[in-house]
Structure 1
Amino acid sequence: MKAPETDEAFCQWYEDCWADRDEVEYPKLFGTISEEVYTLEQTGALEAWLESELAEVKELDPNWGGMGVRVAPPSPEYPYWTYVTSGLSNPITLAPGEEVDPNSPSGVGYEMVIHTTEEAKWPVLRLLDMMAYNLVCMRAFAVGHRYPVEGTLTGGESKLNGFVFVTDPSRPSHFQLESGKVQLLTLVGVTKNEMAFSRSNGMDRLMAKLVAAGTGYITHPDREQVPL
């Protein structure tokens, strides 16, 4: 199929793909989604990365500002908080009239997810910062990646200071939009030693230890390091 050819029709199609993800796919994957959206334009994350040595763009795309993070509160099926990015899979790589391959990635090709046991602001801030990094520095993440942060994940007392990128076995690894496929990348908070263990022994072995310790794919900022 082709993307709509006129600017007006393309903009409507773009918005429809966005709504299909947030209002149809996300509730199926995560349960009820709160109405509030935490957007990139509410932070200085885009501007901060634009001023960094890693920036690959000269100016910010106005379409990026409305991208952000959605929140799903605990439910009987998923008794924990879920934070998920909204926008990286927007069809930002397409232009009006271009051919759309449903098997190709939509936009950057993924959205990022963090699960926590308690409601918190730090997952929102981390996800917004990483979205800005993706967009401004044009560097993508993938399953198996590791991402250290400065200090701790929460900015406070925590032994976790990085993420590993994995596929959550409790959900599909991808979902489909008219604009293409979207992968779900689950970010799990880890310590430096756990991150090093995954590098030397493989991500599957680390996740097996986290599952055995009872934390699994949910980030517990106050936990101790698992036995390695």
Structure 2
Amino acid sequence: MSFLEESWEEREEKSYKEIFVDTGPGIFPLSNEIFDRMNAKGVDPRWLTHGVFKCPPTSDRKTWAYVTSGMSNPWESEDPEEYSGLGVEFLMETENEEGWAIEILQTLMAYNLLLAAGKMGDFPPLDYGHRVPLALSESIKTMMFIHPVNFTDHFSIKSGRIDLLQVVGITPAELEVAKQTSSEEIKQKLVSITGGLVTSKERASVA
């Protein structure tokens, strides 16, 4: 196997199995339609190998976990570096099995790939603390990127380090507090009041 293939396999077959145990029925890949909705030009065909795994609850975890795979592929390298590829993958938790969780992460991953490729203006790739307007419902209108609490926030494979950025949906009131203070402030309120970082379509605001 190539360096890319070995790194890819290590992430999905070793690291993800250690972190999430069961990665579900297979990957839900990105599609051209997702990029079309963003009016993206010059979509790299390699991006269509990226996708989302749906990980069911385990004996130690009651939530469903959804995790991206592909942004950390070392496409341009044949040697280990500090970070593998873009150095990130995204994670979301839900109470029940939810198809929209896959769609949210696919959209955010496509957006991040376009950002990293310089196709969305002069903006940096998504990172901890960032907030993206992406409505899930009338009450959850923004996706916030934070350090996980029930999962490791990073791991390493042979090609380098990968940060796990957890995505959690927040209310308009929570967004305003996050703007005035920080994303970390809202994260701490969510954890203390709700017990975790689960995303749901409807919940009471903690702000």
Q: Give the TM-score normalised by structure 1.
A: 0.81
Distance in 1 (alpha carbons) for counterparts of 2:179 and 2:115: 24
CA distance in 2, matches of 1:162, 1:83: 18
Q: Is the CA contact (8 Å cut-off) linking 1:30 and 1:78 kept in structure 2?
A: no
Letter matched to residue 39 of structure 1: P
User: How far apart, CA to CA, are the structure 2 residues paired with 1:25 and 1:172?
Assistant: 11
Q: Go from structure 1 to structure 2 and tell me whether the alpha carbon gap of 1:220 and 1:185 turns closer, same or farther (over 3 Å shift).
A: same
CA distance in 2, matches of 1:158, 1:25: 36
| Shift, 1:87, TM fit | 0.3
Contact conserved, 1:114 with 1:123, CA < 8 A, in 2? yes
CA distance in 1, matches of 2:192, 2:115: 36
Structure 2 match to 1:31:
21
Which of 17, 36, 39 matches 1:47? 36
SS of match in other structure, 2:49:
coil
Structure 1 equivalent of residue 45 of structure 2: 62
2:90 to 100, 112, 134: 112
Kept in 1: contact 2:174–2:186 (CA 8 A): yes
* Root-mean-square deviation (Å): 1.7
5+ long unaligned stretches in structure 2: 117-123
Q: How many residues align?
A: 200
Structure 1: give runs of 5+ residues left out of the alignment.
1-8, 53-57
The corresponding residue for 1:220 is: 200
Q: Pairwise mapping of residues 47-196 of structure 1 onto structure 2 (< 5 A)?
A: 47-49=36-38, 51-52=39-40, 58-94=41-77, 98-101=78-81, 104-138=82-116, 139-149=124-134, 152-153=135-136, 157-196=137-176
Q: CA deviation at 1:215?
A: 4.7
| C-alpha separation in 2, matches of 1:105 and 1:198 | 28
